[in-house]
Structure 1
Amino acid sequence: MDGSQGGIEEARLEPASVRRFLSDNPQFLTADQGLLAELGLKIAVGNVVDFGPAVMARVHAAHQREASQRQQVEETARANFSAQAQTHGAVIDLLDARNHSDLARRVDELAQQRFGLAAGTIALETDGHPPAGWRKLVEGQVDMILGGPQRLARMGFAPTALGLFGERAEAIKSMAMVRMAIWEPSRQGLLAFGSTDAEGFTEDMGTELVAFLARVVERTAERWPVL
């Protein structure tokens, strides 16, 4: 075979050439049962090529993808609903606090029992002693922990925040922290939750629910004067 013939053979393998050939010679495909079987096709009534097996396989795959996506959406919705329900229950627990010490205890308990976390704590910037059960911070420490005076919350891991969790600090792999301003004149504080899971709190997570709890802690703490 010479070069010109080889060029013709290669041209015939182009998709457009194959399409034209099959269009001009439909019997080439419909008469070749072996080729139809290899392609997963069959001849339907009326001499029409039925793409049954191939099409059904694609439809099934698409259905599986849709089902998987729907399941993910449903699981996310259930998780959000559960988190909101637990948060509402936590609010009731916090509002029942009898004093600052009881409030701190309830924050730690709800962190562990309601949210499955390692710890929950309240911290306050003060020159003296913070309320019983609260962690003491020096002036400016809230800004340092959160990463600046403009930041209201921080999610993820912050080595500078490990001291908030006392003897449980070594187990903490991620944190959720929200700035608080309590009393008049306001004093800077933090509501912090710690998880033993490095992915428990990540930087891309929303802070709405944690911030909501922080506002509840602020209002509850203001029931009693700080000494």
Structure 2
Amino acid sequence: MDGAEARAEQSTLEAEVRSYLRENPALIRDDAALLAELGLKVADNVVEFGHAALARVHAAHEREADARRQIEATARDNYAAQGQTHGAVIDLLESRNHADLARRVDDLAQLRFGLAAGVVALEGPENTPAGWRALAAGQVDMILGDHAALHRMGFAPTALGLFGERGEEIRSMALVRLAIWEPARQGVIAFGSNDPEGFTADMGAELVAFLARVVERTAERWPVL
């Protein structure tokens, strides 16, 4: 029996039970033990809710209120993150050169998002822009853990070296692959957090990936000298 059939059978059974109880109200009204288990009592042929029933209603209301508060809190957090991201984009677009771009990535990580660090890195063997981390060929794949991976969220030991002296403080990272210039050179933008729960594997990478695309387009303004 599939899910649809099971639900249909359940609905039919519930309808039959309700119909039977309407025709035989004494089954519940005259069963004191059953009424007690349900938290109900009969007074002058009117069923009153007892303490147990009211407690269940109150508990259900509290669960609904908690769920609503969680949804509202998540919506506020998402709105705030989007606002910070839009501000970060403006900061990045105002970069004057590669070194200034790398500095702004680190600044926005710390000042806008409360993170430990933000780093931009690029594979060789050609020159690496000033202020960027230099990577060996194939190192981006090693950092992301998969040659086809576009991003990685959570803790990645292979990425600790990106953060230099601050690597010992990093407990979680957001990593996004970069492809800059033509022919494309592989790179990575990395944000590090001191909080193990700052970035987790089940967390969406959309906003970080968006910043990565902005960094790519901004970096292509200038040649690597």
Deviation readout 1:183-215 (Å, 9 max, x if unpaired): 111111110000011111111111111110000
> Which of these residues, 131, 134, 137, is aligned with residue 132 of structure 2?
134
In the other structure, the counterpart of 2:214 is 216
In 2, distance between residues paired with 1:90 and 1:137?
25
Deviation readout 1:137-193 (Å, 9 max, x if unpaired): 010000111112100111111111111001101000111110001111111111000
In the other structure, the counterpart of 1:116 is 114
In 1, distance between residues paired with 2:96 and 2:82?
24
Deviation at 1:80, TM superposition (A): 0.8
For the residue of structure 2 that corresponds to 1:87, the secondary structure is helix
In the other structure, the counterpart of 2:43 is 44
Deviation at 1:129, TM superposition (A): 3.7
Deviation at 1:132, TM superposition (A): 1.1
For the residue of structure 2 that corresponds to 1:65, the secondary structure is helix
> Which of these residues, 187, 190, 193, is aligned with residue 192 of structure 1?
190
> Which of these residues, 47, 69, 92, is aligned with residue 94 of structure 1?
92
For the Cα contact (< 8 Å) 2:127–2:224, is it kept in 1? no
For the Cα contact (< 8 Å) 2:39–2:53, is it kept in 1? no
Point out where structure 2 has 5 or more consecutive residues left out of the alignment: 1-23
In the other structure, the counterpart of 1:72 is 70
Counterparts in 2 of 1:162 and 1:50: CA distance versus 1, 3 Å: same
> Which of these residues, 138, 144, 147, is aligned with residue 146 of structure 1?
144
Counterparts in 2 of 1:25 and 1:132: CA distance versus 1, 3 Å: closer
Counterparts in 2 of 1:62 and 1:223: CA distance versus 1, 3 Å: same
How many pairs are equivalent?
A: 202
Counterparts in 2 of 1:48 and 1:136: CA distance versus 1, 3 Å: same
Counterparts in 2 of 1:62 and 1:25: CA distance versus 1, 3 Å: closer
Counterparts in 2 of 1:166 and 1:52: CA distance versus 1, 3 Å: same
Cα RMSD after superposing both structures: 2.5
Question: Is the counterpart of residue 85 in structure 1 residue 83 in structure 2?
Answer: yes
Task: Name the amino acid aligned to 2:186.
Answer: Q
> Which of these residues, 158, 161, 164, is aligned with residue 163 of structure 1?
161
Task: Name the amino acid aligned to 2:221.
Answer: R
In the other structure, the counterpart of 1:9 is none
For the Cα contact (< 8 Å) 2:40–2:53, is it kept in 1? no
Point out where structure 1 has 5 or more consecutive residues left out of the alignment: 1-19, 30-35
Deviates further, 48-57 or 121-130: 48-57
In 2, distance between residues paired with 1:125 and 1:193?
18
For the Cα contact (< 8 Å) 2:102–2:131, is it kept in 1? yes
Deviation at 1:40, TM superposition (A): 5.6
Larger Rg: 1
Deviation at 1:43, TM superposition (A): 4.1
Percent of counterpart pairs with the same letter? Answer: 72
Counterparts in 2 of 1:127 and 1:24: CA distance versus 1, 3 Å: closer
